[in-house]
Amino acid sequence: MKRASMSVDGRTRCFAVFGHPIGHTFSPMIHELFIRECGENLAYLAFDVTPENLEDALRGAWAMGFRGLNLTIPLKERVIPYLTGIDPLARKVGAVNTLKRTEEGFYGYNTDVYGMQSQLRTNGIHLQGQDVVILGAGGAAKSALCVCQMEGAKSVSVYNRTYERATELVRRFEEACRGEETPRMRAVSLEELLNMPHPYVIQTTPAGMLSVSDRLPIREESFYEDIRYAADVVFNPKDTPFLSLVRSHGGKGADGLSMLYYQALKAFEIWRETAFSKEQARRMKEEFLSWAEGFFHE
């Protein structure tokens, strides 16, 4: 992907991602593709915003006419008190990664859920009626629980290195879903995890990221023998040690880059209130993936 030479003037409608740290974000590259495709006068920037500066940064962005924002680590939960409203799905997940400007302030959405759902579906991973394991109990695990519910999984077992956090995640999600149909959900210990069937696994810890010293979320090699379908949220590198092990044991693995792409696509569609065609979305995804391939091999 060639970097577009952005043309900005007094009518440019601005968007941005806030996060801390932000130096390694891929969001501007993805949104640049969308902007080029729709041919409108838009620009997308990235800002390093600490949690302490979030309220001021949001006020500033609104005062300066920003049309929409994305939020990444560690702001997705912290942003909620500053919003004028929040979409029901984002409320259920308890995390917001997309803001849209309204007359009164910014309104919050969660597009990570859509991103993960699309990551699974486009890789032929269908959770309906299945027993699913989620590794991790942080923000991305909340999205994974929501995806399992929406896709009609039969049961979800959450494993986290800090067991109490997994218990708390399940408790809170059950509370958020009161009155709705949900999979059977529980937290499991490492011993239980290693001794139960686990053909479907969603990996939501940062283990395997280039900047993280732990290469794997689960060290025991036997764990990987039973996995038939796996999705990893980590996208740098594209082929994580987790996915490589799953594939080397004959399982199918979906990488986090496609989740990243689809969450961005949904955010852009929320902002423009219009969707790209399937063909446009597919073509831009290919372009992004080949750009990322080059990036990792530089």
Contact positions toward ligand NAP, by CB under 6 A?
A: 73, 112, 115, 136-141, 160-162, 165, 204-207, 209, 212, 214, 217, 233-235, 256, 259-260, 263
Q: How far apart are CA 245 and CA 226, in angstroms?
A: 11
Shortest Cβ contact with ligand NAP: which residue? 138
3-class DSSP assignment, residue 281:
helix
Please state, in angstroms and rounded to a whole number, the distance separating the CA atoms of residues 90 and 83: 12
Select 62 or 245, whichever has its Cβ closest to ligand NAP.
245
Longest dimension (CA), the chain: 62
Is the Cβ of residue 82 or residue 163 nearer to ligand NAP in the bound state? 163
Q: Which is nearer to ligand NAP, 32 or 112 (by Cβ)?
A: 112
**Strands of the 155-159 sheet, one edge to the other:** 184-188, 155-159, 131-135, 200-203, 229-232, 252-254
Asked if 222 and 193 touch (Cβ cutoff 8 Å), the reply is no
Sequence-separated (6 or more) residues with CB below 8 Å from residue 231:
116, 119, 120, 123, 125, 201, 202, 203, 253, 254, 256, 259
Tokens of 236: 């740098």
- Which is closer to ligand NAP, CB of 149 or CB of 263? 263
Of 76, 92, 100, 142, which is the active-site residue? 76
CB of 73 to ligand NAP, least distance (A): 5
- Concerning whether 76 is annotated as a catalytic residue, the answer is yes
Minimum distance from residue 166 beta carbon to ligand NAP (Å): 8
CB of 263 to ligand NAP, least distance (A): 5
Q: How far is the CB of 128 from ligand NAP (least distance, A)?
A: 22
Q: Are 120 and 127 in contact (CB under 8 A)?
A: yes
Give the residue numbers marked as catalytic: 76
